[in-house]
């Protein structure tokens, strides 16, 4: 049976370009980038070349890029590194209800440390209102953290407007860009962010390597301790092969983003329209909001999303009922309930996330599989009643 992968927001396959860049480094570049001999300096050169590639992708200065293990560490370093080192006695952080667990979990830990946290609501379109962020400001506010694009519903947040509010208030602004990088142009200077997180395994590089952009002049303390690597911001021997892989992924995106974005948007629209034509009592969450071009979150009334994920897997299609980090959770997605979906509808949702190796034939096959699986699941559901009956 052929198998097709439609869960690229969870993780992507490693691309040929990345493998071609990675393999020679694994074979030949075994020195420690902190060593002064030939082997160490060879590793250092490869590390800094990768730093330039990642910086170029988001229009940053290479010295503003800190290599880390992934998006979660990048978010944690940004949040803890600014808030814990802020000099105010009382501290307050603003975020939203639909952030990734890497941000919400860090904020929950800050609360246990005595920091006050405001989680701003979003609208039914999955987008936060900048004025709501402004109204949440307090004299004690030290950080605002709002993601660039949501991992489950794909909605794009008004980051530049929020950054302007933060700058006017003299507050640092962090954005989780893990689901935005590679799907849309990112210019950290145009956005006005102080800190911006990204990771490799969402953009066709291996897991275990990410980066945090730190604007020059941003006061950021370490949250790990040891050596003086990464300008004293992230101690530990650098993962040179991982950095090179991330750099190669960044290079491909820089050269191909516009065409790939248009291609993915066309496939996403084809998928949504095809399913809506074939499946009654279904809909697209936040369809009219600005969204990343590869992401579609749809509801199918009368069925359980996890059951549909399994049914599609048995037909050869990998999809998701939400964030991979929350897989297996009994409660419905916090993102879907935050946009106002009733619990039962939230439980019926599926996320389709497309990538480089999806094409029109795969999309058409997925439409057929969804139509068949939903029809079968509804036929055995004791509660489903067609809206037209």
Residue 231, domain member (yes or no): yes
Residues 148 and 269 in one domain: no
Q: Token pair for residue 52?
A: 């330039």
SS3 322: coil
Containing structural domain, residue 294: 4-11+257-379
Residue 129, domain member (yes or no): yes
Per the DSSP assignment, residues forming a β-bridge with 283 are 299
Q: Kindly report, residue by residue over 214-227, the tens digit of the pLDDT.
A: 999 999 999 889 98
For residues 98 and 335, the answer to whether their CB atoms sit within 8 Å is: yes
SS3 341: coil
Residues 98 and 144 in one domain: yes
Listed in sequence order, the residues at least 6 apart from 20 whose beta carbon sits closer than 8 Å to its beta carbon are 248
Residue 387, domain member (yes or no): no
The whole-angstrom separation of Cα 180 and Cα 161 is 17
Beta-carbon neighbour count of residue 16 at 10 Å? 11
Closest Cα to residue 145, out of 202, 87, 97?
97
SS3 261: helix
Consecutive 10-residue averages of pLDDT for the chain (389 residues):
96 98 96 92 96 98 97 98 95 98 98 98 98 98 98 98 98 98 98 98 98 97 90 89 98 98 98 98 98 98 96 98 56 94 96 98 98 96 71
Catalytic residue among 107, 129, 325, 349: 325
Residue 384, domain member (yes or no): no
What pLDDT sits at residue 317?
A: 98
Tell me which of 218, 252, 286 is where a domain ends: 252
Residues 317 and 226 in one domain: no
The whole-angstrom separation of Cα 275 and Cα 290 is 20
Q: Kindly report, residue by residue over 67-103, the tens digit of the pLDDT.
A: 999 999 999 999 999 999 999 999 999 999 999 999 9
Known catalytic residue: 325? yes
Residues 185 and 299 in one domain: no
What pLDDT sits at residue 322?
A: 66
Listed in sequence order, the residues at least 6 apart from 35 whose beta carbon sits closer than 8 Å to its beta carbon are 41, 43
Residue 209, domain member (yes or no): yes
Task: State how many domains the chain has.
Answer: 2
Residues 187 and 314 in one domain: no
Tell me which of 194, 219, 252 is where a domain ends: 252
The whole-angstrom separation of Cα 145 and Cα 178 is 13
For residues 31 and 39, the answer to whether their CB atoms sit within 8 Å is: yes
Residues 152 and 78 in one domain: yes
Q: Token pair for residue 22?
A: 């990675």
Residues 248 and 285 in one domain: no
Residues 107 and 229 in one domain: yes
Q: Kindly report, residue by residue over 298-310, the tens digit of the pLDDT.
A: 999 999 999 999 9
Tell me which of 236, 252, 268 is where a domain ends: 252
Q: Kindly report, residue by residue over 250-277, the tens digit of the pLDDT.
A: 999 999 999 999 999 999 999 999 999 9
Q: What is the DSSP letter of 326?
A: G
Residues 243 and 314 in one domain: no
């Amino acid at each position: 049976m052929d198998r097709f992968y439609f869960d690229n927001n969870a993780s992507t396959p490693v691309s040929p370009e990345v493998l071609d860049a990675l393999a020679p480094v694994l074979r030949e570049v075994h020195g420690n980038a902190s060593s002064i001999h030939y082997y160490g300096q060879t590793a250092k050169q490869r590390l800094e070349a990768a730093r330039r590639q990642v910086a170029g992708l988001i229009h940053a200065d290479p010295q503003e890029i800190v290599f880390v293990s992934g998006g979660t560490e990048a978010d944690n370093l940004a949040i803890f590194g600014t808030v814990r080192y802020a000099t105010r006695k009382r501290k307050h952080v603003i975020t939203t209800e639909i952030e990734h667990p890497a941000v919400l979990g860090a904020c929950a830990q800050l609360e246990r440390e005595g920091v006050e946290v405001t989680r701003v609501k979003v609208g039914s379109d999955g987008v936060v209102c900048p004025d709501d962020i402004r109204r949440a400001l307090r004299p004690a506010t030290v950080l605002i953290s709002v993601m660039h694009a949501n991992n489950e519903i794909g909605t794009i947040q008004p980051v530049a407007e929020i950054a302007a509010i933060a700058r006017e208030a003299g507050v640092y602004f962090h954005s989780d860009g893990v689901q935005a990088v590679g799907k849309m142009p990112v210019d950290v200077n145009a956005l006005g962010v102080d800190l911006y997180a990204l990771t490799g395994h969402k953009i066709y590089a291996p897991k275990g390597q990410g980066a945090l952009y730190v604007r020059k002049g941003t006061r950021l303390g370490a949250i790990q301790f040891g050596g003086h690597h990464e300008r004293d911001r992230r101690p530990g021997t650098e993962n040179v092969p991982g950095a090179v892989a991330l750099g190669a992924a960044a290079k491909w995106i820089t050269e191909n983003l516009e065409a790939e974005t248009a291609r993915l948007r066309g496939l996403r629209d084809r998928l949504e329209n095809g399913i809506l034509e074939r499946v009654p009592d279904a809909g697209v969450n936040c369809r009219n909001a600005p969204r990343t071009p590869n992401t579609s979150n749809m509801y199918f009334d009368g069925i359980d999303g996890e059951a549909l994920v399994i049914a599609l897997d048995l037909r050869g299609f990998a999809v998701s009922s939400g964030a991979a980090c929350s897989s297996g959770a009994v409660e419905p997605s916090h993102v879907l309930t935050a946009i106002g979906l009733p619990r039962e509808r939230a439980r019926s949702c599926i996320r389709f996330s497309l990538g480089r190796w999806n094409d029109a034939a795969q999309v058409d096959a997925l439409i057929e599989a969804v139509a068949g699986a939903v029809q079968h699941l509804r036929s055995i559901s004791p509660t489903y009643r067609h809206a037209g009956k």
